[in-house]
Structure 1
Amino acid sequence: MAKSETVVYPGPDTAFEEAFKHHFKALHAYAYTVLRDELMAEEIVQTVFLKLWENRERMAIHTSLRAYLYKSVYHESLNYLKHKKVQRKYMAEAMAEQQQRQADEVVADSELRRHLHAALLRLPEKCRTVFQLSRFEELRYHEIAERLGISVKTVEAHMGKALKLLRLRLADFLPLLIILLPNL
């Protein structure tokens, strides 16, 4: 009578570990040829093995494990490349929008400066002088009064008149002026 042998197969943990050790380097090299990125190739292979482990109980591989792993690495690599392409496209669009906004701001700023200059020239001379000393040289009312030899009340009156006239003449630009020249 022939003696029967009992064959003990390694458990799923051991089989998985051996598959990982056996295929990792070759799969990494394959992923690198697709991605041209050492770290990402490693990440892709690890992701494939992680998915294999997570789905081990409900997965049925109908080809060889080797073929399955190579196909999985290939598809993960392509998905990564597609994702990077979408990211690059989004970044290009975002940069184009930012450049357009900056160009629009330059145009608006230039137009605002032109209108502000024209509005300032239309102010009475004393009002214009007081306004420029206050807003552009950042002098306080009492400093302006001393420099021009007038009272602080007169400075206040000129500023009030200048602000009122500028608000009327620059109504279309008020939102920008509020940012550039507070207290207008």
Structure 2
Amino acid sequence: MEVTLAKREPLVHSNDEAAIHFEETFKSNVKALHAYAYTILREDGAAEEIVQNVFLKLWENRKRMAIHTSLKAYLYKSVYHESLNYLKHLQVRRKYMEEAMANLRQQVPDEAPDEELQRQLGEALSQLPEKCRTVFQMSRFEDFKYQEIADKLGISLKTVEAHMGKALKLLRLRLADFLPLLIVLFWR
């Protein structure tokens, strides 16, 4: 089934005509649809993504669908529903993060989660080999670039990269329980 306009003018005549008509439709509607999505979402990047998704679905389904209203009305309705779905998804993510934080607080009732994270980080760092720990601390706590670390320690850039890879792997394993907290801390 072809996508059709209200007057039953086929949107797809041939591949070239379809692409030309689609491009014209996109260019003539994208700014207004983006503005509409932005009024719902109040987030520029999300609004842009929503509009792109609507046009992508339109293109992918162009041969299987029929539009019984005007194409413009269909696009606005699609943007509206995609925006609502996006907001619902954000609510689910927020609820998950709140539950994860509550679970983390229950696991560590006597200490604040960030204090426990600091303690666990200190323990994990103490288990690293000395050079590996030094490289990690210079990179993450003292903001040295890899080349600067290599120069200061008299080792190769590849060795610095290897030490960082080893440190990050161990820390990921040791701090896996704190992942929700880390996400919340860096997400704010």
Name the TM-score, length of structure 2 as normaliser: 0.50
RMSD over aligned Cα atoms: 1.7
Q: Write the deviation string for residues 80-106 of structure 1: whole angstroms up to 9, x where unpaired.
A: 000000000010000000011011789
Alignment partner, residue 38 of structure 1: 44
User: Is 1:27–2:33 an aligned residue pair?
Assistant: yes
Greater C-alpha radius of gyration:
1
Among 89, 95, 103, the alignment partner of 2:95 is: 89
For 1:105 and 1:15, the matched residues in 2 are separated by: 62
Task: Tell me the percent identity.
Answer: 69
* Cα 1:105/1:29, change in 2 over 3 Å: closer
For 1:76 and 1:16, the matched residues in 2 are separated by: 20
Alignment partner, residue 76 of structure 2: 70
Alignment partner, residue 56 of structure 1: 62
For 1:93 and 1:79, the matched residues in 2 are separated by: 21
1:71, distance to aligned residue in structure 2 (A) = 0.1
- Structure 2, unaligned stretches of length 5 or more? 1-12, 113-188
Runs of 4+ in 1 over 3 A off after TM superposition: none
Q: How many residues align?
A: 98
Alignment partner, residue 24 of structure 2: 18
Name the TM-score, length of structure 1 as normaliser: 0.51
Code of the residue aligned with 1:100 in structure 2: it is Q
Q: Write the deviation string for residues 118-151 of structure 1: whole angstroms up to 9, x where unpaired.
A: xxxxxxxxxxxxxxxxxxxxxxxxxxxxxxxxxx
